[in-house]
Amino acid sequence: GFHIPGHWDKILDIDDCKLQPEPGNRIRNALRDFAKEENIGFYHPRERKGLLRQLTIRITKLGEVMVLVHFFEEDKPAIEKVMSFLAGKFPEITSLLYVVNPKANDTIYDLPVKLFKGRDYIEEEIAGLRFRIKAKSFFQTNSYQVEQLYAKVKAYADLKKDDLVYDLYSGAGTIALFVAPEVKKVVGVESVPDAVEDARENARINRIENVDFESGDMKEIFNGEFVKKHGKPDVIITDPPRDGMHQKVVEQIKNLLPRRIVYVSCNSATQARDLALLSDRYEVETVQPVDMFPQTYHVENIAVLSLKKDA
């Protein structure tokens, strides 16, 4: 369901979500009804009790389906019952997984994801490139519109054949692999080790060799030693999480002074903050929103920055 506005702990139950194709609705509704019939409790974040915490469903254009069930505690008989129900009811699920999250927050990056049935990844195709996506990997939710987003990013980057490009917060390597044929080399940086594994595997699948991916906390790994190892970038593409870029990352970009920065953001407020921090060295050349989230007020926003002549 949806969070009720103004209530972080209350969910509006819905039967038909217009934002995701089937079998998304059927899986969600069937699991909800099954849990009620079997008296399996739903997680209440304020009271911190209840087994079924969250459900993540990913569906690709290729028709592959990933279902990740988040449980609050390690109740093995109940978990087995839930997962067996989903496996039997929906044989079309490509990747059926679960995670036990007893923490106060919903993040799972530090938790083991367990495979119940199928394989531990799904595949997507974007502009002729094939991508493997695991449960912890960031991948844009709108696989149709993402081609428009990446085409804009590549065009705005104004790439040259001998360019070295840094792709910060590179996820599963989508942007890096998208622009790699246009340049000498792309270096991606990502904090989630699973996503870096995916990025390297995606490069292998697509036979793209002029890319390199490193894993680590961006504000720590993106330092002088990193630049000494990989070289000074001509262009930086950055697609950070909602919190935007850490101030250390912004300062390092200002030390490197690439001729161009393409900044992709899902949060225009933190993007505006970071652009202000870069404004003494860079001017905003273009701003282009891309509607990645139909029927909502959210957008993905591209800001193109060029180095000032007196920088």
Q: Which positions are catalytic?
A: 266
- Phi-psi sector, 123: left (phi>0), alpha (psi -120 to 50), beta: beta
CA torsion, points 216, 217, 220, 225, in degrees to nearest 10? Answer: 20
Q: Which residue has the tokens 């080399």?
A: 185
Distance CA(249)–CA(62), nearest Å, equals 36
Closest CA to 67 of 116, 18, 3, 101: 116
Closest CA to 70 of 59, 60, 61, 57: 57
**Encoding tokens for residue 309?**
């002549």
φ, ψ (nearest 5 deg) of residue 218: -55, -45
Q: Which burial class, exposed, middle or buried, applies to 59 when counting CB atoms under 10 A from its CB (0-12, 13-18, 19+)?
A: buried
